[in-house]
Amino acid sequence: MERTPSTAQPPPVRLVPYGKDDLPQLVRHNSPEMTAHLGGPEAEEKLRDRHHRYLHLNGTGRMFKIVTTDTEEPAGLVGFWEAIHSGHTVWETGWGVLPEFQGRGIAVTATRLVVGEARAAGRHPTLYAFPAATNGPSNAVCRKVGFTLVGAGDFEYPKGRWSRCNDWALDLTGGAPRQPRTG
């Protein structure tokens, strides 16, 4: 796949708040290819629950569509939400870029934008990401955005499916990342 050289301008994308008409976008993210590191496609009912959850985060996070500014196409989804990590409530982030838009630096640019949103939201000082250890592109996004690898652990997601995930942390207050975690 052709990739944008790292010296090139960041791809022109902006974040648009996830809205009530965005279920079709969520459906496009529910393919076997897009969910290969996330336990596979979700059942329709679960997807509708997810849509509802994204619409009603009410201060406990925000979801966005990633839209190309030149062609106004929806290229992916990115967001942040509250999660319990080592007994603390933290911000967790996650992202997806549709296959036809991948390999252009869109996930990196969109995640940088969402870091700004999480920072502006206040509330929690650290943003975490937990990509599967085998998810090469997603771990690369963490590294390129400036997250620090602070550990790894076995996560149950979805219920009944355990996989090895990396813990990446990014301090939103300008200081050093919080305590490393193992196991």
Binding-site ranges for ligand COA (CB under 6 A): 3, 6, 34, 37-38, 94-97, 102-108, 131, 135-138, 140-141
Considering beta carbons, is residue 158 or 173 the nearer one to ligand COA?
Answer: 158
Considering beta carbons, is residue 60 or 68 the nearer one to ligand COA?
Answer: 68
CB of 107 to ligand COA, least distance (A): 3
CA dist., res. 58 & res. 64, Å (int):
14
CB of 45 to ligand COA, least distance (A): 21
Considering beta carbons, is residue 92 or 172 the nearer one to ligand COA?
Answer: 92
**Burial class, 37, CB count within 10 angstroms (exposed 0-12 / middle 13-18 / buried 19+):** middle
CA dist., res. 178 & res. 169, Å (int):
8
What is the torsional sign of CA 37, 77, 143, 9?
positive
Q: Which residue has the tokens 């708040």?
A: 17
Considering beta carbons, is residue 107 or 150 the nearer one to ligand COA?
Answer: 107
CB of 141 to ligand COA, least distance (A): 5
Q: Measured at CB, which residue is nearest to ligand COA?
A: 136
CB of 98 to ligand COA, least distance (A): 7
Return the beta strands (E) in 47-147 as ranges: 61-68, 74-85, 88-97, 126-129
CB of 112 to ligand COA, least distance (A): 10
CB 116 within 8 A of CB 172: no
CA dist., res. 173 & res. 127, Å (int):
10
**Burial class, 75, CB count within 10 angstroms (exposed 0-12 / middle 13-18 / buried 19+):** buried
CB of 174 to ligand COA, least distance (A): 24
Considering beta carbons, is residue 91 or 173 the nearer one to ligand COA?
Answer: 91
Considering beta carbons, is residue 3 or 173 the nearer one to ligand COA?
Answer: 3
